[in-house]
């Protein structure tokens, strides 16, 4: 029964929530214009901000000395 409740909740967020609350424009790694610019670059971030995105999603990784860096890969 618990698994069924989880599927109902996930279904709500996937199917109903966007239509009731509106869609968000999220720029993951910036706006690279289909490969023209490097992801996670200042120009990609600037293009995303100029496009008036709702959120700019960055891939954060923590180094061995506990410093956060923006990097897609874990290495």
Average pLDDT, consecutive stretches of 10 residues, N- to C-terminus, the chain (75 residues):
68 71 77 77 86 84 87 65
Task: Identify the burial level of 68 via C-beta atoms within 10 angstroms of its C-beta, where 0-12 means exposed, 13-18 middle and 19 or more buried.
Answer: exposed
The pTM for the full model equals 0.55
Q: Supply the pLDDT for residue 65.
A: 94
Two structure tokens written together for 75: 């290495």
Pairing of β 60-62 and β 68-70: antiparallel
Please say whether the beta carbons of 39 and 71 come within 8 A. Answer: no
Q: Supply the pLDDT for residue 75.
A: 57
Q: Supply the pLDDT for residue 41.
A: 81
């Amino acid at each position: 029964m618990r698994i069924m409740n989880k599927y109902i909740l996930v279904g709500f967020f996937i199917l109903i929530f966007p239509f009731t609350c509106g869609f968000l424009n999220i720029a993951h790694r910036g706006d690279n214009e289909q490969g023209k610019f490097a992801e996670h670059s200042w120009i990609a971030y600037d293009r995303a901000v100029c496009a008036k995105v709702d959120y700019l999603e960055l891939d954060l990784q923590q180094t061995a000395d506990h410093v956060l860096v923006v990097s897609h890969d874990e290495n």
